[in-house]
Every structure is written in structure tokens, then in C-alpha cells.
């Protein structure tokens, strides 16, 4: 019997808002919805709290992809934190592109507390996309 090549399991860092996506992720876990075990959840009080430096630190710390999740527009518990997150995301996405980092490695999603299934789908889709890209290497480095 031939040994199968081990499939690359991307490390995805997910910044999740305490009030929505964290609860959705928990619900997905309670429902035993299967999603990639290589996702690391980092709970923040609001998506607007996620400084671009946190995203860069995640990549430099070994993440192959970074997912940023918050409350749907107009549902942010701090009024406009998710709009701030969206503005930062748009700018950071452009900057990452200039650095040669593929767009599929950084993603923003609005996922409410009741959307455990959406959380599962987003994680699975992102994991597949990043898996196809392979391990993260800045400028083709080691």
C-alpha cells in the first residue's frame, strides 16, 4: 500500500468579534459542525479593535491566512467599529497586494451570532483557497 502525501493544512488566524462571530463559532462547535481544526480564534471586543499591525503580526508569526470577522453593518455594539474595520481592511488589502501577498490570504466577513453555519462555510472556503496557494512566504522567502 502506498503512503499518501500529507495534505497541507493552512494555519488561519481568525479575529472574531466577541458579540457576534465568536458566538457563531461557538455555536458551530456545539453543533459539531466540521470546520478546519487549523483555525485559531482570537476574540476581540469589536472588529474595529483589530489594528492592522495585528494582521501583519499574524502573518509574520506564521499564519498562512487571516480572517477578520465582525457584526453586520448597523449591528456593531460600539456603533461604527465594523465600518472602521472595513476601511482598515480595504487599505490593508491594497498594501498586502503591493507586498505580493495574495488577496485570498486576507478576508473580511460579517457573521452574526446566529450564523454558525456561515462561519463554518467561510472557514472551509478560506482554508481551501489558502491550501491551493500553499504556505505563506513573503517575497518567495523560506
Chain residues in the site for ligand FES (CB under 6 A): 17, 19-20, 46-48, 70-71, 76-78, 81-82
Residue closer to ligand FES by CB (options 39, 69) is: 69
**Least distance in Å: CB of 71 to ligand FES?**
3
Residue closer to ligand FES by CB (options 65, 81) is: 81
Residue closer to ligand FES by CB (options 73, 135) is: 73
**Least distance in Å: CB of 15 to ligand FES?**
10
**Least distance in Å: CB of 11 to ligand FES?**
24
**Least distance in Å: CB of 60 to ligand FES?**
25
Residue closer to ligand FES by CB (options 83, 131) is: 83
Report the distance separating Cα 50 and Cα 85, nearest Å. 7
The dihedral built from the CA positions of residue 77, 80, 81 and 82, taken in this order, carries a sign that is positive
- Mapped onto helix, strand or coil, the DSSP state of residue 104 is helix
Report the distance separating Cα 134 and Cα 70, nearest Å. 26
17 secondary structure, DSSP code? E
Q: Which of 114, 128, 120 is nearest to 34 (CA)?
A: 120
Exposure string for 44-75, b = 16+ CB within 10 A, e = fewer = bebbbbbeeeebbebbeeebbbbbbbbbeeee
Amino acid at each position: 500500500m502506498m503512503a499518501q502525501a500529507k495534505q497541507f493544512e493552512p494555519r488561519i488566524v481568525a479575529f472574531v468579534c466577541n458579540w457576534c462571530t465568536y458566538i457563531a463559532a461557538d455555536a458551530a462547535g456545539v453543533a459539531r459542525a466540521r470546520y478546519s481544526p487549523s483555525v485559531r480564534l482570537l476574540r476581540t471586543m469589536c472588529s474595529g479593535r483589530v489594528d492592522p499591525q495585528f494582521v501583519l503580526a499574524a502573518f509574520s508569526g506564521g499564519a498562512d491566512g487571516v480572517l477578520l470577522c465582525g457584526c453586520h453593518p448597523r449591528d456593531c455594539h460600539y456603533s461604527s467599529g465594523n465600518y472602521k474595520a472595513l476601511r482598515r481592511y480595504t487599505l490593508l488589502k491594497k498594501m498586502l497586494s503591493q507586498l505580493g501577498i495574495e488577496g485570498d490570504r486576507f478576508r473580511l466577513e460579517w457573521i452574526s451570532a446566529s450564523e454558525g453555519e456561515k462561519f463554518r462555510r467561510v472557514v472551509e472556503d478560506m482554508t481551501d483557497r489558502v491550501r491551493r496557494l500553499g504556505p505563506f512566504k513573503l517575497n518567495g522567502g523560506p
